[in-house]
A and B are shown apart, each in its own frame.
Chain A
């Protein structure tokens, strides 16, 4: 019997959460150390998996399968392929770093770290599940820790934002549940692998195939988010505590993109091709609308939040251009956005924490007080606008090349060019933001504001190293992603 890597990776954070929550009288330092250990080991294990991942075959690896509920033919079925492995690494990486980012939390630390660890387990479970019921179970669990994390440790209108997040997510998953149930009875199976392989040959649906496609897509589109289903995002992001914003932007949104590729495109290739023009149009609207709205934000955190909508538009564009390069680009963009926006939120958190201000109109000249934060913030910002040598460039370049050359959607070249315009707007708001926060006249009220301390420098360095590594040598990830995309291209008949 092989070692069950994936089970270990998924459930170690949960074990940590249970220890933190139920062992009485833990000092809050001990709680933080436990959390750090129980997230570091999954990170190390997932990097090890990445190292021994067989890049020569496009297959599910490290598979685990046990019968779970025989009555409805559900299995405890885990596995990763080139599509999900980068996202697993993304989550374990962020999972460990957010513990460091949260090191200064002293409001009810026991509950905070328990929920944070549970959140990591549920997101990892979503990326690793190959059974629809298991996938849906992990997808739903995530709502509970998010609700508590936003509503207790958030700021501003936190309770409103938290319940808005919950209602949106549950509405999306309600649609998904209807889709999954229809799919289950159309095929008699809950296994994503089996359904994708047998295709829709034995399909006896109660409703049209396209309807199932859209039921599932609605759930994923809310999570990604796609205009016009995005309105929960700015509120949730703005009011969430820093670490939760990092996980939310970094890994949670990717559940939407991952689900679209894993379920919508893989199981319904024909339907996806049929509706690709419509979805590409939505992608471009998301890109441009998101960027335009970002341009006029005055709240630092809200600005970064809105930028996610525009960046996730590129993911949607890459997915529904349905070309090999564009799909690889979309996956890489998910990874890259996770790291870059994660870092941006962490930096916003530091500026807010140290300077006590996040209104762009009142900030300025901070480069004098916090030079290190200024440099790292700028690197993250340049990554977000896609400067070469950052991962953002590699990802967006692949998305644009891939969708420009895609043959599925006629006239996609026009859409792509419109999408590239988004980059220009992005450059506008990123540079404007950096200038407003760090440059300009030195303000007296910020005298004595501190720069990053040692711990903060450690995680900043980790983020920047990954951004640069992937930017300079993207093949380290694209080689793996390609093995996950190839089988999908086969299904698409390309």
Chain B
């Protein structure tokens, strides 16, 4: 067995421990940020070195090291780096536990990296729990009533979702006798259609797994936790939840459904249709309920439910397309990358603004165009990207993901999705309107630290690059989707 292939994960784990230990001995907590970032950069370096190589399996086929996993690992590391940068101001206000905060961010990133790589039911569950438990703690980090409530709600609902997932896995294991995804696929293909229909337990298992994973990606109807947790959690953690945790959920769904349940065709059409329906419901509900929201974090919570709906259009495409066709998978990867940058940018701007205002109410953003023109401009760009207008990344991402869906006969879903984009323009533009048209409550400028500005410029630069010259990232996504084995 080749331990070199596990180096990114090992690095991250090591740095998480170093951060905790260092926290005990140093007084200037700023170094914790530097050390955490160093860990992320080193892990990313190892990941980049491995990129493009042939796919391999380690730990008795439990973990896959293929370009698909590497793509997601890089994505999670980039997200973690931006979140750490965006947290600097926020965390410096804590009197205690700064080390734990950064260590938990690193550990949950580790969990997500494992989620992208696991190819075996039990390790999937473990990776998922590693991610979730770190996030439960992070959500409750503020220890005020709202944050605590959010954490408790997230923990309880998350535990139920895990139980459902585990039950689904147990059923699948019961009917196939295997836990390794590739072996499950072989066992299913050996079953006859009538054999499956006679005992619907396998289908039930698959549906329960969708429910369990659906919690992670905030798919309707497993989305109830989203608005409260997003509102109560520390804002950097909300950003982290809304992009990284969702991306990890999609990574694991893609791998499980594509490699274990991808064949026979009737099965993949079935779950494809299920995702298509969930997508239609998710984006419609998310967008409609986002309209009356007055708290910007809550609004972005519902918006992320809607975005999960657009993403599930990609999953439906994967279900409807033949196994060799990569457009569904690569467009999903591209959408995740551009969504991650966009949402991180939006939340970073919100962190900067709410640091000053101590409020997340949309009405308090009034006149932000005068008080902080660059912050307001960046937030406007990110909101435009969320609507899906050019020249931002969201436009290309939607074009790409919808083009795949049209290709595989999902035009009805695309029509629902584009009409939903129109609805979404209404509430995103409301924030824009308040910022640029409203009168400022005071003339005081809104300051932002260097770290925040760096995180914000990086995200906005990424949003513009992916919107104007997306060719290169699309190519990477294609490579990642192609190498997807097991």
Q: Is B390 a contact of A137 with CB atoms below 8 Å? A: yes
Q: Do A143 and B411 have beta carbons less than 8 Å apart? A: no
Question: Which residues of chain B are near A68, meaning CB under 8 Å?
Answer: 469, 471
Closest A residue to B334 by beta carbon equals: A71
A274 to chain B, nearest CB (A): 22
Given A72-B399, A170-B422, 18 more contacts at CB 8 Å?
A: A69-B469, A71-B478, A72-B400, A136-B399, A137-B390, A137-B391, A141-B390, A144-B384, A147-B429, A151-B437, A163-B429, A163-B433, A166-B425, A171-B419, A174-B418, A177-B399, A177-B402, A178-B415
CA distance in complex: A182, B412 (Å) = 11
A166 surroundings in chain B (CB, below 8 A): 425, 429
Residues of B within 8 A of A184 (CB): 403, 406
CB-defined interface of B450-486 with A at 8 Å, one 1/0 digit per residue?
0000000000000000000111001100100000000
Whether A163 and B426, one on each chain, are in contact in the complex, defined by CB atoms closer than 8 angstroms, is yes
Is the CB–CB distance between B411 and A182 below 8 Å? yes
> Distance (Å) between the CB of A201 and the closest chain B CB?
20
Interface-central residue, A144, A163, A185, by most chain B CB under 10 Å: A144
Which residue on A lies nearest to B330, using beta carbons? A71
* Chain B residue nearest to A182 in the complex (CB): B406
* Chain A 129-151 near chain B by CB (<8 Å), digits 1 or 0: 00001001110110110011001
Across-interface contacts of B414 in A (CB, < 8 A): 178, 181
Question: What string of 1s and 0s marks CB contacts (under 8 Å) between B413-436 and chain A?
Answer: 011001101100110010011001
State which of A71, A137, A140, A178 has its C-beta within 8 Å of the C-beta of B475: A71
Interface size class of chain A, counting residues whose CB lies under 8 Å from the partner chain: 35 or more
Interface secondary structure of B, over-half rule: helix
A71 contacts B384, C-beta separation under 8 Å = no
How far is A322 from B425 in the complex, measured between Cα atoms in Å? 37
Nearest CB of A to B478, in Å: 6
CB contacts (< 8 Å) of A148 on chain B: these are: 436
Complex Cα gap A166–B409 (Å): 29
Which B residues lie within 8 Å of A207 (CB)?
411
Pick 22 A–B contacts, CB within 8 A, sort by A: A71-B330, A71-B478, A72-B399, A72-B400, A72-B403, A133-B399, A138-B390, A141-B389, A141-B390, A147-B429, A151-B437, A170-B425, A171-B419, A171-B422, A174-B421, A174-B422, A177-B402, A178-B406, A178-B411, A178-B418, A185-B406, A185-B407
Instruction: Answer yes or no: B395 CB below 8 A from chain A CBs.
Output: yes
A159 CB contacts on chain B under 8 angstroms: 433, 437
Task: From known contacts A141-B391, A163-B429, infer whether A71 and B474 are also in contact, taking CB-CB under 8 Å.
Answer: yes
Residues on A with beta carbons closer than 8 Å to the beta carbon of B399: 72, 133, 136, 177, 181
Assembled-state Cα–Cα distance A141/B384 (Å): 10
Provide the bound-state CA to CA distance between A83 and B394, in Å.
32
Query: Within the complex, which residue of A69, A70, A167 is in contact with B425, where a contact is CB–CB below 8 Å?
Result: A167
Are A181 and B471 within 8 A (Cβ)? no
Q: Which residues of B contact A (CB under 8 A)?
A: 330, 384, 387, 389-391, 395-396, 399-400, 402-403, 406-407, 409, 411, 414-415, 418-419, 421-422, 425-426, 429, 432-433, 436-437, 469-471, 474-475, 478
**Most interface-central of A167, A178, A182 (chain B CB within 10 A):** A178
- Chain A hits for B470, CB < 8 A: 69
State the CA gap A181–B391 with chains docked (Å): 19
What 3 A-B pairs come out closest when comparing CB atoms?
A174-B418, A71-B474, A181-B406
Per the bound structure, the CA–CA distance linking A68 and B469 in Å amounts to 7
Number of A-B contacts (CB under 8 A): 91
| A141 CA / B468 CA spacing, docked (Å) | 12
B429: A residues at CB distance < 8 A:
147, 163, 166
Alpha-carbon distance A148/B436, docked complex (angstroms): 8
Cβ of A206 within 8 Å of any chain B Cβ, yes or no, is yes
- Identify which of A69, A71, A133, A138 gathers the most chain B CB atoms within 10 Å of its CB: A71
Residues in B with CB closer than 8 Å to A177 are 399, 402, 418
Q: What mask results when residues 175 to 208 of chain A are scored 1 for a CB within 8 Å of chain B, else 0?
A: 1011001101100000000000000000000110
Q: Report the bound CA distance from A458 to B414 in whole Å.
A: 50
In the bound assembly, the distance between CA atoms of A232 and B421 in angstroms comes to 19
CB distance from A246 to the nearest CB of B (A): 23
Give which listed residue, A137, A170, A181, contacts B421 with CB less than 8 A. A170
A463 to chain B, nearest CB (A): 32
Q: A185 and B403 in contact (CB under 8 A), knowing A68-B469, A70-B475, A141-B391?
A: yes
Say yes or no: A71 contacts B433, CB within 8 Å: no
A376 / chain B contacts, CB cutoff of 8 Å = none
Measured CB to CB, the closest approach of chain A to B221, in angstroms, equals 26
Shortest CB–CB separation between residue A66 and chain B, in angstroms? Answer: 11
Q: Is A281 an interface residue (CB 8 A)?
A: no
Q: Give A69's nearest chain B residue, CB to CB.
A: B471
Q: CA–CA, A174 to B399, complex, Å?
A: 11
A152 interface residue per 8 A CB criterion: yes
Contact partners of A174 in chain B: CB under 8 A? 415, 418-419, 421-422
Whether A72 touches B395, Cβ cut-off 8 Å, given contacts A137-B390, A184-B403, is no
In chain A, residues 275-297, which have Cβ atoms closer than 8 Å to a Cβ of chain B?
none
In the assembled complex, the Cα of A34 lies from the Cα of B436 at a distance in Å of 23
Q: What string of 1s and 0s marks CB contacts (under 8 Å) between A97-141 and chain B?
A: 000000000000001000000000000000000000100111011
Contact across chains for A140 and B395 when beta carbons are under 8 A apart: yes
A63 to B53, CA, bound (A): 41
For residue A439, give the distance in angstroms from its CB to the closest CB of chain B: 40
Among B426, B436, B475, contact of A167 (Cβ-Cβ < 8 Å): B426
Give the distance in Å from the alpha carbon of A137 to the alpha carbon of B407 in the complex.
Answer: 20
Task: Specify which chain A residues have a CB less than 8 angstroms from the CB of B421 in the assembled complex.
Answer: 170, 174
B402's nearest neighbour on chain A, judged by CB, is A181
- Smallest CB separation, A184 vs chain B (Å): 6
Residues of A within 8 A of B390 (CB): 137-138, 140-141
Residues in A whose Cβ lies below 8 Å from that of B396: 69
Q: Hey, what's the 0/1 contact readout for A70-112 against B, CB within 8 Å counting as 1? A: 1110000000000000000000000000000000000000010
Chain B residue at smallest Cβ distance from A207: B411
Q: How far is the CB of A360 from chain B (nearest CB, A)?
A: 30
Could you tell me the distance between the alpha carbons of A182 and B415 in the complex, rounded to whole angstroms? 11
Q: Which residues on B sit within 8 Å (CB–CB) of A140?
A: 389-390, 395
Contacts of A206 in B (CB 8 A): 406-407, 409, 411
> Bound state CA distance, A167 and B418, in angstroms?
12
CB closest chain-A residue, reference B390: A137
A147 to B383, CA, bound (A): 14
Q: Which residues of A sit under 8 angstroms from B407, Cβ to Cβ?
A: 185, 206
Contacts of B419 in A (CB 8 A): 171, 174
Point out which of A143, A152, A170 has the most chain B C-beta atoms below 10 A from its C-beta: A170
Complex contacts, B469 vs chain A, CB 8 Å: 68-69
A72:B474 contact, CB within 8 angstroms? yes
Identify the closest chain B residue to A139 (Cβ): B390
Contact call B474/A69, Cβ cutoff below 8 A: yes
Q: Which partner residue on chain B sits nearest A138 by CB separation?
A: B390
Distance of A207 Cα from B389 Cα, bound (Å): 26
Bound state CA distance, A133 and B470, in angstroms? 13
Query: A184 — nearest CB in chain B belongs to which residue?
Result: B403
Chain B residues with CB below 8 A from A138, complex form? 390
